[in-house]
Amino acid sequence: MKPYIFITRKLPDEAVEGLRGNYEVSMWVKEEMPVPRERLLEEATKADALLTMLSDRIDEEVFNVGKNLKVVANLAVGFDNIDVPAAARRGIAVCNTPDVLTDTTADLTFALLMAAARRIVEAADLIKEDKWKSWSPLLLAGQDIHHKTIGIVGMGKIGAAVAKRATGFDMAILYHNRSRNMEVEEAIGAQYVSFDELIAESDFVVCMTPLTEQTRGMFTRDVFRKMKKTAIFVNAARGPVVDEEALYDALAEGEIAGAGLDVFDKEPISASHPLLKLKNVTAIPHIGSSSIETRMTMMKLCADNISLVLSGKEPKTIVNKDWKN
């Protein structure tokens, strides 16, 4: 009997054609909706491998029923949706898709920063709603980006790629990280500062930190109050690092000038979400790595990792390096 692979979201045929010849493959076909929990658990009972999304909670319950599971390949860099220690205890490999989406996500992050600063969405809506009546000196005037100070919270590979893009705008680059990134400091002159110093001095505060117990809820009302009133806050990392009620209050009361958001605490959000009622919020639906080229590469990497593990080989990108112990 061929090993069985369940894919929790509809993927293009070309992304999984390499799996179909050697394995039995099934996938959830409702493209815009996550697989129901009941179906996930049902599939896990017979699966040798799962190809999962960030929206799928892969926890003890899944591992308890997944007696045949050997690998979980997550279509993302992050893996906070997976109980990695529980997988390691059972000898299950957890794989992710690092590196391949670094530049694509950095492109989107900087685009979001620019859109929020220059009020691009507001301007586009003005025309579409037939409200552009004449030219005026301060019509939808935004903020300059060049020669400003960008503060990056989380100087991993994506944060470093965002910093590199900031050099093209002659920006001063501050960053805060768990440890200093000497390579970035030497390559582009980024300056390591405390978190408090970064939020007080930056014109653009860009969150690129992973979601951990330490970073969850780190952007509080007190943090927003310490930012410049002209500051733009950009989050292209994880929604739960931000207290959204605090962000709403800070934006509504003018404590900061605006926000560009690709992620939210609970996703997806509806049009009734309070943050979407604010004109100084530029919001997009978690599309940081969503270019055709990058997403196809991510899918292929997941498929390759599954094939390698099911063939008894080491995967290309492993999260829990102790999975065989």
Whether 286 sits among the annotated catalytic residues: the reply is: yes
Contact 208, 162 (CB under 8 A): yes
Cα–Cα distance measured from residue 104 to residue 292, given in angstroms and rounded to the nearest whole number? 10
Cα–Cα distance measured from residue 278 to residue 51, given in angstroms and rounded to the nearest whole number? 37
Residue type for position 214: Q
In the numeric block, which tokens belong to residue 235?
């989050």
From the candidates 9, 119, 176, 286, give the one annotated as an active-site residue: 286
Helices and strands (H, E) in the chain, number of each type: 12, 12
Cα–Cα distance measured from residue 233 to residue 282, given in angstroms and rounded to the nearest whole number? 10
- Identify the residue whose tokens are 């009622």: 277
Cα–Cα distance measured from residue 67 to residue 44, given in angstroms and rounded to the nearest whole number? 8
From the candidates 176, 238, 244, 255, give the one annotated as an active-site residue: 238
From the candidates 60, 183, 245, 267, give the one annotated as an active-site residue: 267
User: Vertex 125, ends 124 and 130: CA angle to 5°?
Assistant: 105
Whether 267 sits among the annotated catalytic residues: the reply is: yes
Residues belonging to the active site: 238, 267, 286
